[in-house]
Structure 1
Amino acid sequence: MCSQFDRALTYITSFTSKKEQPIYNALIGLCWGTGCILGPVIGGGFAVSSATWRWAFYINLPLAGLISPVYLFLLPTHNPKPDIGTMQKLATVDWLGAFLFAGMFAILQVALTFSGSLWKWNEAGPIALWVVFAVFLIAFIVQQGLSIATTPSHRLFPVHFLKSRTMILLYTGTAASSTGLGLGVYYIPIFFQFTKGDSPIKAAVRLLPYICVFVTAVMLSGGLLPVLGRYQPFYIVSGVLIVIGGALMHTVHLETSTTSIYGYEVLMAFGAGMSMQVAYSVAVAIADKIDTLNAVGFINVAQIGSLSIGLSIAGCLYQNLGFDNIKNALASYSFSDTEIRAALGGAHSAILASGDLVLQRLVLGAIAATLRDIWILTIVAGAVALVSGVLMKREKLNLEMTAGG
């Protein structure tokens, strides 16, 4: 999925003008939002059917088969270096950098996922993972900085972008809005499934206001950017709305009305949508022509990488804080640690399925308190987006240039 997203943005950058790119980038956001709407509904349908949840993954194979002819025969070709053969192009790839970067991200995800849940923090397993992650991180920084086994023009990470104030702020602003959006997409349905007893399908349907407002904001920002030419306001508005929405979600408890939650999540969604795709057009507009694809990749790392890390951090907090909250709430009961952890996984756990209403109330209250803490990450993300926007240049870009491909 991430590869298709990256390729779509590369095509847009190659075959559209800088004035057209904002609206086309917004259309990518529309497609993403449509997937977020249909995905949970279809996946939830499989989960409660005899097909089981595995078909939520299997279904991608026939769908990919249907779409593949379009990719093969209808999309235009683009070869920026026609005078260089395939083997020569492969030789220029920063394979060592790619290995270190992929390893670093993979190990970080595993460390965040298993620390405190599968292993105690002071056990050998998580300590080893964090040490290996640190080694990969340091090795990647050194390898990129010194261009080891690559060249400055071909290294995986465009280090020279770190000298640009605007590029750095676009990165942090995009990372923040992406994190804020992802936390809502993941944890709003979880809240409804636990506290309202929703089925997977109904919980997914409750996400519709969030996604629809997000898509609307993405399309609005895509239409306004080439007209206004100024990008700073999008990040300021985005940060303010994400902070307000996250702060309101931080107040949600078991008795909070569904209507109120819809209102809170709409603020977060509109805020995230106002800045989610803006950086792609801005980064391409301010980068040198030779760095066009580097600019797209740079923002991709901010958007997709931060989403992955943000959800992993939130998952780590959910497992660790949730365990402590439920254990404290059930201190007078004799449930094992395994049973308490199972309660964090859903209504089918022995504790929640016991039929004891008092017990269920205690557990659900503890889970709601845990989710309130998760929204602190959203507040922080919104604050980062806001600060990034305030520090950006108050410049107006020229988006009247012609297509480059």
Structure 2
Amino acid sequence: MANPEKGKEYGTTTPEPGNNDSFVPTTGTSSPDPEKVAVDIGAQIAPAAENEAQERQYQGLNWYLVCIAVYVVTFMYGLDNTIVANIQAPIVERFGAVEKLGWLGIGFPLGSSALILPVGKAYGLFNVKWLYICSIIMFLAGSALCGGAPSMNALIFGRVWAGAGGTGMYLGVLNILSISTTIQERPLYMAITGIFWGLGCILGPVIGGAFADSSATWRWSFYINLIIAAVCAPVFLFILKPFHPRPGVPIIDKLKLIDWVGVALNISVYTFFVLVFTFGGAQWAWNAGGTIAYFVLFGVSLLAFVLQQAFAVFTTKENRLFPVHLLHDYSQVLLYISTCCQATNIFIPIYYIPLFYQFVHGTDGITAAVRLLPFMFIVIFSCMFNGAVMPRFGHYWYWYLVAGIFSLIGGSLFFADVDAGTSNSKIYGFSILLAIGGGIAQQAAYSISPALVDSLHKVPDAIGFINIAQIGGMVISLTITSSVFQNLGFKHLKAALRGNGFTDNQIHAALAGAKSGIFESTSAQIKERATNAVVKAISDGYILVITAAALGTICALLMKKEKVFLMPTAGG
């Protein structure tokens, strides 16, 4: 249970009358959750707590400028999570390499998930201002490479690079707000961060589709980041103040505190996992030597990471990358799995609903994105509803149960009852069911997990634990779904077009978008068969949603029926 002394440290918790054994700091109402402030200090909460009796670091115009700048950066981070959802077809039309299509969506969260733990620890060691600025530069360099990419490989590398910088931006915003606000106002500013992140996610497909359909082309979906950042640059360079979490400690000593072996193994695990499902079946047969080699490398990397973290090899238990001790807590493990399931149920529809409209109705990018808006708005509303209502009652297991049931129904309907003739009203209805399931417990673990640790210094570990579950779940789900779409899509299309003289390359190209030759220069009958085959491949991707929803429902039923006392914030 949570430590009653937390309230004294944070200044934002109150025990339930008559019961002091379980409560947690204030929560936010949308992603990123205000509780992620704990990560801001790496492995320490003290620097933020020191501000309790102080005035805010910035006053007047300077404060407004800092807030605007950091919220704009948060918007950019949310934007790039979904910006490619609606520009995949023109990119593949330009570069080909349809077998690498999945990397467009996977690359950004892959870079984020691979570095979120080491960057979180770095913010507890190094100058916050300059680490934040370096992260922005890294993100912009990746964006510039994406915009000017001469090939699909360059674009993929740029996405991974931008994602790695984006995770530093994301944690940096939380750092800056944490150390710049008083303890009383901090929850509100953190909640606003979530609003801007959610707004970015909502508008990502719309903005990407608008650029793709304009004379500017899809490249400006990435170049736009450079212009936005240039406007904010003077604030970060001349107004933002430096903050040293460990003043006087030599850089070489700080570097020694980082679990470098853990960092390398963590990156290897995610990378080889993505490579297995990217190449397997699409470029190489599943029993080909290359595919087997990647399977072996993934398995070896995962085993090495598990052993290295479990026994603190080349590091210490205090400095190891992954919070291993939380795996001994039954409730924390269930929250981790449930958070992975929630990420799966949100991001698969974000990428595949627009794809459905592009293939079936031949809609342009912006129209397909508009069709996604009901889903996105309901996700954000559900998340905010949970943040406002759950703290009033304390019980959390039934939120996950409701989420699992709604996602299970929505995913099943997308799998079994969607074809080329399905009406828009049905798609919207199925989307809303999925959105409620995906959003209603999306951020809940960021409030619950810290309440279940037994001491204050473990709170950052709990937050990082859930961070990895959320972003890692996004990587895993998009990777597997991309593999399903490529492999089963090719199988369905080949069967539907058998006897018409189409080559394997033409069939692979058809999976890139509705503008391929099969859809534009063939008879209506062949086009209809091809469309039905692709829609079947899209529907097959919802098998993973059904699986995640079922697993999430089981986890909810296994959760303790305990009550955790939470305090709602003024946010959202």
Normalising by structure 1, report the TM-score.
0.92
Paired residue type of 1:161: L
1:258 aligns with 2:421: no
The aligned residue for residue 169 of structure 2 is 4
Partner of 2:261: 96
Equivalent residue for 1:275? 441
- 1:163 to 2:300 alignment: no
With over 3 angstroms needed to count, the CA separation of the structure-2 counterparts of 1:44 and 1:382, relative to structure 1, is same
Relative to structure 1, the CA distance from residue 299 to residue 35 in structure 2 (aligned partners, 3 Å threshold; closer, same or farther) is same
Given residue 430 of structure 2, which amino acid in structure 1 is its aligned partner? Y
Query: What are the ranges of 5 or more consecutive residues in structure 1 without an aligned counterpart?
Result: none
Please state whether the residue corresponding to 2:506 is helix, strand or coil. Answer: helix
Q: Deviations over 1:200-258 (max 9, x none)?
A: 11001111000000010011111112222222121111111111111111111111110
Paired with 1:136 and 1:227, the residues of 2 have a C-alpha distance of 44
C-alpha RMSD of matched pairs (Å): 2.5
Moved more, 304-313 or 67-76: 67-76
Give, in whole Å, the separation in 1 of the partners of 2:438 and 2:325. 28
TM-score, normalising length: structure 2:
0.66
1:173 and 1:385 in contact (8 A); partners too:
yes
Check conservation: 2:387, 2:568, Cα contact below 8 A: no
Equivalent residue in structure 1 for 2:496, among 329, 353, 356: 329
**Are 1:376 and 2:543 matched, yes or no?**
yes
Q: What do the CA deviations read for 1:327-366 (whole angstroms, capped 9, x no partner)? A: 1111121111100111111012111111410010000111
1:83-111 CA distance string (max 9 Å, x none) = 64443222111111011101211121122
My pick for the range that moved more, 293-302 or 125-134, is 125-134
Relative distance call for 1:120 and 1:25 in structure 2 (3 A) is farther
Match of residue 30 from structure 1: 195
1:183 corresponds, among 348, 363, 371, to: 348
Residue type of the alignment partner of 2:364: S
The alignment partner of 2:546 has SS state of helix
172-181 vs 367-376, which deviates more?
367-376
1:306-330 residue CA offsets vs partner (Å, 9 max, x unmatched): 1111001000000000000011111
C-alpha distance in 1, partners of 2:297/2:199?
A: 38
Query: Post-superposition shift, 1:10?
Result: 5.8
Deviation at 1:137, TM superposition (A): 1.0
| Aligned-pair CA distance for 1:75 | 6.6
Tell me how far apart the structure 2 counterparts of residues 19 and 368 of structure 1 sit (CA, whole Å): 49
Displacement of 1:30 after TM fit? 3.2
Match of 2:521 in 1: 354
Q: Which amino acid aligns with 1:285?
A: A
Partners of 2:182 and 2:474 lie apart in 1 by: 27
Which residue of the other structure, out of 476, 491, 500, is the alignment partner of 1:309?
476
The residue aligned with 2:565 is: 398
Q: Does 1:248 align with 2:418?
A: no
User: Shift in Å at residue 300 of structure 1?
Assistant: 0.9
**Aligned partner of residue 484 in structure 2, secondary structure:** helix
Q: How far off is 1:382 after superposition?
A: 1.1
The percentage of counterpart residues that share the same residue type is 41
Paired amino acid for 1:362: R
- Change in Cα spacing, 1:369 to 1:43, as seen in structure 2 (3 Å) is same
Contact 2:393 2:565 in 1 (8 A): no
Q: Is the 8 A contact 2:178 2:186 kept in 1?
A: no
Distance in 1, Cα, partners of 2:171 & 2:492: 40
Unaligned runs of 5+ in 2: 1-165
Counterpart in 2 of 1:87? Answer: 252
- Per mean C-alpha deviation after superposition, the further-off stretch among 63-72 and 247-256 is 63-72
1:230 is the counterpart of 2:395: yes
Closer, same or farther: CA 187–317 of 1 in aligned 2, 3 Å:
same
Q: Are residues 401 and 379 of structure 1, via their aligned partners in 2, closer, same or farther at CA, if it must alter by over 3 Å?
A: closer
Asked if structure 2 preserves the Cα contact closer than 8 Å seen for 1:239 and 1:382, the reply is: yes
Label 1:112 to 1:226 Cα distance change in 2 as closer, same or farther (>3 A). Answer: same
CA distance change for structure 1 residues 362 and 390 in 2, over 3 Å: closer, same or farther?
A: same
Tell me the residue number matched to 2:319: 154
Residue identity opposite 2:345 in structure 1: G
Query: Mapping of 1:11-160 within 5 angstroms?
Result: 27-70=192-235, 81-82=246-247, 84-160=249-325
Residue of structure 1 in register with 2:381 after alignment: 216
In the alignment, structure 1 residue 285 sits paired with structure 2 residue 451: yes
Any idea what SS the aligned residue of 1:64 has? Answer: helix
Task: Work out the CA distance in 1 between the residues paired with 2:220 and 2:337.
Answer: 36
Aligned length: 401
Q: Aligned partners of 1:338, 1:256: CA distance in 2, in Å?
A: 29
Q: Which has the higher contact order (CA 8 A, sep 6+)?
A: 1
Give, in whole Å, the separation in 2 of the partners of 1:239 and 1:72. Answer: 46
Aligned-partner Cα distance in 1 for 2:377–2:464:
27
- SS of structure 2 residue aligned to 1:394: coil
* Residue 215 to residue 77, structure 1, CA distance change in 2 (3 Å): farther
Aligned to 1:196: 361
